[in-house]
Structure 1
Amino acid sequence: MNFAIAIDGPAAAGKGTIGRAMAAHFGFPHMDTGLLYRAVGRRVLSGMPALEAARALTPEDLQADGLRTAEVGQAASQVAALPQVRAALLDFQRAFAQRAGGAILDGRDIGTVICPDAAVKLFVTASDDVRAQRRHAELTAKGADLTLEAVLADLQARDARDMQRADAPLKPAEDAMVLDTSRLSIDEAVEKAIALATARMAAREFSPIRPN
């Protein structure tokens, strides 16, 4: 039985951390779909047209160095607003979601577009200030020289692009469970997300196959 878990939300809300932890807990494969757009954005920065970059994407591209930089993040947000790019990556994501046994995907349009029939849908969010503090700490730990104000402005600009784009805008699915992590530790957020997913699984009489 296929059992997809869709996790959506804005940048630095915690969806990637939660997705990886849930994948380890349930024994599901996990895809950070934001890496798809970062990989495309990285190629665009090197001079490749966006649509060509999307069509040529391979799983190996998701392991490339430098995908988490602020510059690549900006490029990713810009290419993600292009309907042709999103369409080119649609099958890539849906094939992953259909893996036998279950799969977890996190992104911005998983529950609304990629997996509208996902058994579990979470929308992970947090306040702008909290998200900016998290992203600033992450980037400065990697050596980036950025002010907190610059990171906040970048996040807000990205949110605006993601929410206002005509194709697959960032928004909670109608049946998504909203998880605000502003006041939660990582462990608390993961625990709450697992509890929500477990309850939904029980309601649907699904028991995941855990790894040995």
Structure 2
Amino acid sequence: MNPKTENKKIVIAIDGHSSCGKSTVAKQLAQQLGYIYLDSGAMYRAVTLFALRNKLASNGTVDEQALISRLAEIKIEFRVNATTKQNETYLNGENVEEEIRQLPVANHVSPVATIREVRAEMVKQQQLMGQEKGIVMDGRDIGTVVFPNAELKIFMTASPEVRAQRRYDELTAKGQQVSFEEILNNVEERDRIDSSREVSPLKQADDALILDNSHLTREEQLQWAITKAQERIAK
């Protein structure tokens, strides 16, 4: 790589359909580039942990107004562990990576993540992180809403049949008795819901590059993404 560009960092936004492996590609790409993987799910878990610690949530319910009134007290960061090279989540300067994966948080994160004001605050914090560049993030509206000015936007897709087959293989390998037709119907219904939802609908950015991984291995799709990222970094 050109010495003048080797320290240049960009923002990479990855959107796409369910069961396309967006998170897998995003995490691998971030690790390969030495970037931060911006894990939105971990952010909502961190907000949930804050709510639990401050008695704003219990028994599966959340005091929405009380939490909204304290959103200004919440600051979330991601740092790469120098030893493991893995992302770790920090809540107000404290490493909470392990705690946010525990059952109490899992039991309360859904109602927290649906609060419009919480979502707006998380997008604001994500955009602040993006100002530092060196970010990879995946989702449904990253290239259109969160990072509309990202230097590289990727829209991942695969045929519903291929995605259903992958899910079918995954579940049957675990010994579960499932119907391929039922899974295919579920995939197609998720596509419909994701594309038509009122909040954060799935939408392809006009300037996104299409990555159809219907017939690609994980290694091939990662190499494709690395090549595209290096091209943008070198510009």
Query: TM (normalized to structure 2)?
Result: 0.66
Q: Percent identity?
A: 39
Task: Give the SS at the match of 1:174.
Answer: coil
After superposition, give the CA deviation of every residue in 1:92-123 in whole Å (9 maximum; x if it has no partner).
322333345x1111111111111111111111
- 1:115 corresponds in structure 2 to 147
Distance in 2 between residues matched to 1:158 and 1:11, nearest whole Å: 7
1:86 matched to 2:119? The reply is yes
Q: Tell me what 2:199 maps to.
A: 167
Residues 50, 85 of structure 1: 8 Å contact kept: no
Which of residues 77, 101, 105 is equivalent to 1:64? Answer: 101
Residues 81, 48 of structure 1: CA spacing in aligned structure 2 closer, same or farther, 3 A cutoff?
closer
Query: Contact between 1:8 and 1:123, CA under 8 Å: does it hold in 2?
Result: yes
Q: 1:25 to 1:156 in 2, by over 3 A?
A: same
Structure-2 change in CA distance of 1:92 and 1:141 (3 Å): farther
Q: SS at the partner of 1:167?
A: coil
CA gap of 1:79–1:9, structure 2 versus 1, over 3 A, is: farther
* Aligned residue type for 2:15: D
Matches of 1:197 and 1:33, distance apart in 2: 21
CA pair 164-81 structure 1, distance change in 2 beyond 3 A:
farther
- Indicate the structure with greater helix content: 1
Whole-angstrom distance in 1 between the partners of 2:136 and 2:63: 26
Matched residues in 2 for 1:10 and 1:135: separation?
A: 13
2:81 counterpart residue number: none
Cα distance, 1:166 vs. partner? 2.8
Q: Is the 8 A contact 1:4 1:103 kept in 2?
A: yes
**1:170 to partner: Cα distance:** 0.6
Q: Kindly indicate whether the alpha-carbon contact (under 8 Å) linking 2:9 and 2:233 is maintained by their aligned counterparts in 1.
A: no
Matched, 1:198 2:230: yes
Contact 2:62–2:112 (Cα < 8 Å) also in 1:
no
Higher strand share: 2
Letter in 1 for 2:35: F
Residues 40 and 50 of structure 1 are in contact (CA less than 8 Å); yes or no, is this contact kept in structure 2?
A: no
Deviation at 1:82, TM superposition (A): 6.5
**Residue in 1 that maps onto 2:22:** 15
Q: Map Cα deviations across residues 24-66 of structure 1 (whole Å, 9 max, x no partner).
A: 211101124355568889x99x62249559x689644785157
The structural deviation recorded for 1:138 is 3.7
The 1:48–1:94 alpha-carbon spacing in structure 2 relative to 1, beyond 3 Å, is farther
Cα gap change, 1:185/1:120 in structure 2, threshold over 3 Å: closer, same or farther?
same
Moved more, 132-141 or 103-112: 132-141
Count of equivalent residues: 196
**Structure 1: any 5+ residue segments left out of the alignment?**
205-212
Structure 2 unmatched ranges of 5 or more: 1-7, 77-88, 90-95
- CA-atom RMSD in angstroms: 3.8
What does 1:47-196 correspond to in 2, within 5 Å? Answer: 47-49=60-62, 52=67, 59=89, 60=96, 63-65=100-102, 83-99=116-132, 102-141=134-173, 146-196=178-228
